Structure 1
Amino acid sequence: MDQPVQIDGSELEGGGQILRIALTMSVLKNKPIQVFNIRAGRSRPGLLEQHLKGVELMKDLSNAYVKGATLNSTIIDFHPKILQGGRYRAPVKTAGSITLLLQVALPCCLFAKEVSELELHGGTNTEMAPQIDYTTEIFKPNLEKFGATFDFDLVRRGYFPKGGGKVLINVTPVKNLKPVTLLNQGQIDKIYGWSFVAGVLPLKMANVMADAAKNTLQCLTNNIKIECYKEDHDIAPNNESGIILVAETDTGCILGSSALVKRGEQSEFTGKKAADSLLKSIRQGGCVDEFCQDQLIIFMALADGNSRIKVGEVTLHTKTAIHIIEKLDESCKFKIVSDGISNIIECIKKS
């Protein structure tokens, strides 16, 4: 076997993102890797249930040889073989994030030999990860600018701590990805979103969140519509409450934010927190928000040509994605140019 590329999981973000990006690039570039110090920057280092299922999913997708893929392991060897499509299942038994499972698998599925059908279990709306609604309403349309997409079916929502969510993902492969240039945020055209409660929580909580968000964002536009609703008990039987916000501009930019009500937190605070996050992204002049920018880095690297995207503050997750991608793909180089309070991230493809 070829000597694996060494990836230090304690660098930069120091969490699961390093493992996810490394696995994805390993499969796409057919390069063996060894990831050590896995999640060294977290209070519970090593592979948790959701990370282990991500490794197993990528093993199945690429028929890889894997060593060290056990719970709490801090080092794995991963040697991919042939990237293939087909039907795969990742049954996370905890509330581990379904959207993070999708993050690791989606780029590979887009370049697989056939259509991929993923059955993902775990948490759909959890802290420290994009809510499934953010992924479908904000990330997905930004991905489509590259000429790729995915279909999804939300079967059941899963919340912390029980999980139990189920999402079906269908991905049709593409021949190539288009480079993108997103440099002009433009003017806010409209803001919309969803404020929800589930389980036994009262609808009033959703209304309070929505009102707080509207009051915070009305300085941008009067065209704000936030739907308040209670989840169907058959789809979401457990307690949860949260909000997802989307802003569209007249130049086609789509930015967003989301938040879940934490224990002991007032609904009004949650709604304002989500709105403040969106307001910050917009005022920094970015064409994508702070939670989407790092997710697009890998598609910039995979596109046929140079891409340029204007963002606000460059996040640690974005810097981490760039670092790992450059380590595993010598065909691209990233450059960040400051433009006052905003930054332009450029991916330059070597000829």
Structure 2
Amino acid sequence: MLIDGSKMEGGGQVVRVASAISALLGISIRINKIRAGRSKPGLAAQHAAGLKLVAALCSGVLQDCKIGSDSILLEPRKISSGTSFMADAVTAGSCTLLLQSVLPCCVVRDDERAIHVVLRGGTNVAFSPPIDYTIHVALPLMRRLTGMEASVSLKRRGFFPRGGGEITLTVSPKERLAAFRMLERGDVVELQGIVLGSEQTLKELQSSLLQTLREEPALGNLSLQLSQEVIAASVSSAAVVIWAKTEGGCVLGASALSEKRVNPHQLAGQAVESLRESLSHGGCVDEHMQDQANSFASSCA
């Protein structure tokens, strides 16, 4: 099957979703024009690491997978019976995007032994869901909907430009996931979140976040369960991750990240505005979860 990697936004999501479905269904794919919509087209380190891990998980043949390549061939074979895997983006390439590539290949297979996958790179970096979103939004939602047994432990955070983060994905596979329907979202009943930054930044972030939420009509009457985490002074990043739980069992998340000079009020405003937009659309999932859910559709009964 030939896939045009320039479609939609022309980014790496085409590669992640296509390779995962290829491995699950046993269909060979050739992806051309990889990341044609980006300023630096072709595979980056994170995409190459993800493809190599997918190939290992499906005992597949992978050709032309190198940094900068705009075309790859993946010929999947049998899902591997291995139980321990590792991928390293080397740079601050996103751990959570690596996880999106490989999780569908781990949750469905005949062997019921638990699988452990170590992923290294950036855990809170631009243009990708933060690890906190994966832990508190994506995985709980997919567990509830499909019955998958998967969890992620965070060993070490990684920020731009050094990376160095590490997470471990643990999965107890199933032969098939349960089919799911999400039609009724219901009202928001609970708000939770986490803020990351220096000690001084955390105080300002928390204050700004609470103030911004109070000014938001759809969320202002809800209390926020907020946790904080101090990060090293040598790291210039700061982050906000918030998520809303609804009457219908849905979880929608949003985040904002600063990798240089931090403006706490602006950062808090970006996160709240992103969540407000997701809620205003009336859907049961946010924009990040839409892509991730699609990768599991082919494995549901």
| Corresponding position of 1:293 | 290
Kept in 2: contact 1:100–1:129 (CA 8 A): yes
Provide structure 1 residue ranges, at least 5 long, that are not aligned to the other structure: 305-351
C-alpha contact (below 8 Å) 2:11/2:35 kept by paired residues: yes
Q: How far off its partner does 1:58 sit?
A: 1.1
Pair 1:131 & 2:130 matched: yes
Identical columns (%): 34
Return the alpha-carbon distance in structure 1 between the equivalents of residues 51 and 11 of structure 2: 14
1:25 to 18, 21, 24: 21
How far residue 232 of structure 1 moved from its aligned partner, in angstroms, is 5.6
Q: The residue matched to 1:217 in structure 2 has which SS?
A: coil
How many angstroms does 1:221 deviate by?
4.6
SS at match of 1:125: coil
Paired residue for 1:185?
A: 185
Structure 2: stretches of 5+ with no match in the other structure: none
CA distance in 2, matches of 1:206, 1:226: 14
In the alignment, is the contact (CA less than 8 A) between 2:5 and 2:34 conserved in 1?
Answer: yes
1:261 corresponds, among 235, 240, 258, to 258
Distance in structure 2 (CA, Å) of the matches to 1:215 and 1:222: 7
Number of residue pairs the alignment of both structures matches: 297
Q: Matched residue of 1:285: which SS?
A: coil
CA offset digits 1:28-56 (Å, max 9, x no partner): 11111111111111110111111110111
CA drift at 1:184 = 1.4
> Considering only aligned residues, what root-mean-square deviation do their CA atoms show, in Å?
1.9
- TM-score normalised by structure 2 residue count: 0.92
1:80 aligns with 2:76: yes
Letter in 1 for 2:159: Y
Distance change >3 Å, CA 156–CA 262, structure 1 → 2: closer
* CA distance in 2 between partners of 1:186 and 1:124 (Å): 31
| 1:117/1:171 contact within 8 Å kept | yes
CA distance in 2, matches of 1:17, 1:8: 12
* 2:88 pairs with 1:110: no
Q: How far has the Cα of 1:167 moved from its partner?
A: 0.5
Deviations 1:151-203 (A, max 9, x none): 222110000111000001111101221122211121221212112214x7633
1:38-77 alignment, distance < 5 Å: 38-77=34-73
Q: Would you say the 8 A contact 2:3–2:32 is kept in 1?
A: yes
Question: Counterparts of 1:232 and 1:102 in 2: how far apart (Å)?
Answer: 23
Task: Indicate if the aligned counterparts of 1:66 and 1:77 stay in contact, CA closer than 8 A.
Answer: yes
How much does 1:262 deviate?
4.7
Q: Offset at 1:277?
A: 1.3
Change (3 A) 1:75 1:193: same
- Aligned partners of 1:195 and 1:82: how far apart in 2? 42
* Aligned-partner Cα distance in 2 for 1:210–1:73: 42
Letter in 2 for 1:207: Q
1:69-95 alpha-carbon deviations (Å, 9 max, x no partner): 111111111111111241111011111
